[in-house]
Protein backbone atom coordinates (compact mmCIF):
# COMPACT_ATOMS: atom_id res chain seq x y z
CA UNK A 1 0.00 0.00 0.00
CA UNK A 2 2.86 2.37 0.81
CA UNK A 3 4.59 1.61 -2.49
CA UNK A 4 1.46 2.54 -4.41
CA UNK A 5 1.42 5.95 -2.68
CA UNK A 6 5.08 6.44 -3.55
CA UNK A 7 4.39 5.43 -7.13
CA UNK A 8 1.45 7.84 -7.43
CA UNK A 9 3.44 10.63 -5.82
CA UNK A 10 6.32 10.05 -8.20
CA UNK A 11 4.12 10.10 -11.28
CA UNK A 12 2.07 13.08 -10.16
CA UNK A 13 5.01 15.27 -9.23
CA UNK A 14 8.26 14.27 -10.89
CA UNK A 15 7.03 13.32 -14.35
CA UNK A 16 5.25 16.67 -15.03
CA UNK A 17 8.23 18.51 -13.55
CA UNK A 18 10.58 16.59 -15.82
CA UNK A 19 8.39 17.32 -18.85
CA UNK A 20 8.35 21.01 -17.93
CA UNK A 21 12.13 21.06 -17.75
CA UNK A 22 12.40 19.32 -21.12
CA UNK A 23 10.06 21.82 -22.75
CA UNK A 24 11.92 24.71 -21.16
CA UNK A 25 15.32 23.60 -22.42
CA UNK A 26 14.29 22.44 -25.90
CA UNK A 27 11.81 25.19 -26.78
CA UNK A 28 12.59 27.75 -29.46
CA UNK A 29 13.28 31.14 -27.93
CA UNK A 30 12.89 34.25 -30.08
CA UNK A 31 13.76 37.42 -28.21
CA UNK A 32 12.54 39.82 -30.90
CA UNK A 33 10.88 42.83 -29.25
CA UNK A 34 8.11 43.01 -31.84
CA UNK A 35 6.82 39.61 -30.77
CA UNK A 36 6.17 40.93 -27.27
CA UNK A 37 3.69 43.59 -28.39
CA UNK A 38 -0.06 43.01 -28.51
CA UNK A 39 -0.24 43.56 -32.26
CA UNK A 40 2.51 42.34 -34.55
CA UNK A 41 1.54 44.63 -37.43
CA UNK A 42 3.12 47.71 -35.86
CA UNK A 43 -0.07 49.25 -34.50
CA UNK A 44 0.71 51.43 -31.47
CA UNK A 45 -1.97 51.35 -28.80
CA UNK A 46 -2.78 54.35 -26.63
CA UNK A 47 -4.11 52.51 -23.61
CA UNK A 48 -3.91 49.15 -21.90
CA UNK A 49 -5.12 46.36 -24.19
CA UNK A 50 -5.51 43.47 -21.76
CA UNK A 51 -8.11 43.55 -19.02
CA UNK A 52 -7.03 42.39 -15.58
CA UNK A 53 -8.38 39.20 -14.06
CA UNK A 54 -10.02 39.23 -10.65
CA UNK A 55 -8.21 36.75 -8.40
CA UNK A 56 -11.10 36.65 -5.91
CA UNK A 57 -13.32 35.26 -8.67
CA UNK A 58 -10.66 32.66 -9.45
CA UNK A 59 -10.45 31.53 -5.80
CA UNK A 60 -14.26 31.28 -5.58
CA UNK A 61 -14.29 29.12 -8.72
CA UNK A 62 -11.61 26.87 -7.24
CA UNK A 63 -13.63 26.49 -4.04
CA UNK A 64 -16.70 25.60 -6.10
CA UNK A 65 -14.81 22.93 -8.02
CA UNK A 66 -13.41 21.42 -4.81
CA UNK A 67 -16.84 21.30 -3.17
CA UNK A 68 -18.33 19.70 -6.27
CA UNK A 69 -15.59 17.09 -6.13
CA UNK A 70 -16.56 16.49 -2.53
CA UNK A 71 -20.16 15.79 -3.58
CA UNK A 72 -18.91 13.20 -6.07
CA UNK A 73 -16.90 11.55 -3.29
CA UNK A 74 -20.11 11.38 -1.21
CA UNK A 75 -21.60 9.07 -3.85
CA UNK A 76 -18.70 6.62 -3.65
CA UNK A 77 -18.75 6.73 0.15
CA UNK A 78 -21.99 4.72 0.18
CA UNK A 79 -20.35 1.72 -1.48
CA UNK A 80 -16.92 2.08 0.09
CA UNK A 81 -14.99 0.48 2.89
CA UNK A 82 -13.08 1.94 5.83
CA UNK A 83 -10.18 3.07 3.66
CA UNK A 84 -12.47 5.12 1.41
CA UNK A 85 -14.19 6.59 4.47
CA UNK A 86 -10.83 7.56 5.95
CA UNK A 87 -9.69 9.14 2.68
CA UNK A 88 -13.00 11.00 2.41
CA UNK A 89 -12.70 12.45 5.91
CA UNK A 90 -9.09 13.37 5.26
CA UNK A 91 -10.16 15.19 2.08
CA UNK A 92 -13.09 16.77 3.92
CA UNK A 93 -10.78 18.03 6.66
CA UNK A 94 -8.49 19.51 4.02
CA UNK A 95 -11.42 21.28 2.31
CA UNK A 96 -12.81 22.69 5.55
CA UNK A 97 -9.37 23.80 6.70
CA UNK A 98 -8.58 25.51 3.38
CA UNK A 99 -11.99 27.20 3.37
CA UNK A 100 -11.36 28.47 6.90
CA UNK A 101 -7.92 29.75 5.93
CA UNK A 102 -9.32 31.66 2.94
CA UNK A 103 -12.05 33.12 5.14
CA UNK A 104 -9.55 34.01 7.89
CA UNK A 105 -7.19 35.83 5.51
CA UNK A 106 -10.07 37.71 3.85
CA UNK A 107 -9.85 36.13 0.40
CA UNK A 108 -13.60 35.60 0.15
CA UNK A 109 -14.49 39.29 0.18
CA UNK A 110 -15.77 40.50 -3.21
CA UNK A 111 -15.08 44.19 -2.63
CA UNK A 112 -11.61 45.10 -3.91
pLDDT of residue 44: 61
pLDDT of residue 47: 64
For all residues of the chain together, what is the average pLDDT?
75
Q: DSSP characters for 59-78?
A: HHHHHHHHHHHHHHHHHHHH
Higher pLDDT, 17 or 5: 17
pLDDT band at 45 (very low <50, low <70, confident <90, very high): low
pTM for this model (two decimals): 0.41
Amino acid sequence: LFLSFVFVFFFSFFVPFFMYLLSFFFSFKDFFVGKLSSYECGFDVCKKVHVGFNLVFFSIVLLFVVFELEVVIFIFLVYGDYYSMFSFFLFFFYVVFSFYMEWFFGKLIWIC
